[in-house]
Amino acid sequence: MCKVVADGDGLGVLLDAGSPATAGIRRRPGVIIAPCDSRGLPTGGRSRARAVFGAPGLAAEYRVAMMNKYGFTTALALGLTRLTHGLTATTAVRLTPAGTAWPLLCPDWRPPSDYSPN
């Protein structure tokens, strides 16, 4: 499962710098994206997109956006990754869809007042 943030008319993701996905995008930047639910199960049709690697500053922006969107557990996971592997462990990837109309992001979720992460 991959955490996604909005980036203008595209999507932003963080990938492990040494992962097979990163190597595959370097070889072939065309990817297929689809909307998914919170468990990673597809909820809609797939569409083509182009993946472009971002600068280290973009990775920092994506980290902050993911912490704001997904909350404490993501902040903790990103913090542990930073402590154990440093800032070069993740690579920012911007996905730009081929079409113009694509409902891949839901509105920002806000927890109810009685929500507890425990």
78-105: pLDDT as tens digits: 888 888 888 778 889 999 888 654 444 5
Alpha helices in the chain (DSSP H): 20-27, 56-70, 72-85
Query: Which pLDDT value is given to residue 63?
Result: 86
Q: Which domain holds residue 81?
A: 5-97
Query: Which pLDDT value is given to residue 108?
Result: 56
For residue 84, tell me if it sits in a domain.
yes
Residue predicted with more confidence, 40 or 116: 40
For residue 102, tell me if it sits in a domain.
no
Query: Which pLDDT value is given to residue 76?
Result: 87
Q: Which residues contact 2 (CB under 8 A, 6 or more apart)?
A: 13, 15, 40
For residue 112, tell me if it sits in a domain.
no
Under 8 Å between Cβ of 25 and 2: no
Q: Among 111, 4, 110, 102, which Cα is nearest to 45's?
A: 102
Number of domains in the chain: 1
Judge whether residue 74 has pLDDT over 70: yes
For residue 107, tell me if it sits in a domain.
no
For residue 115, tell me if it sits in a domain.
no
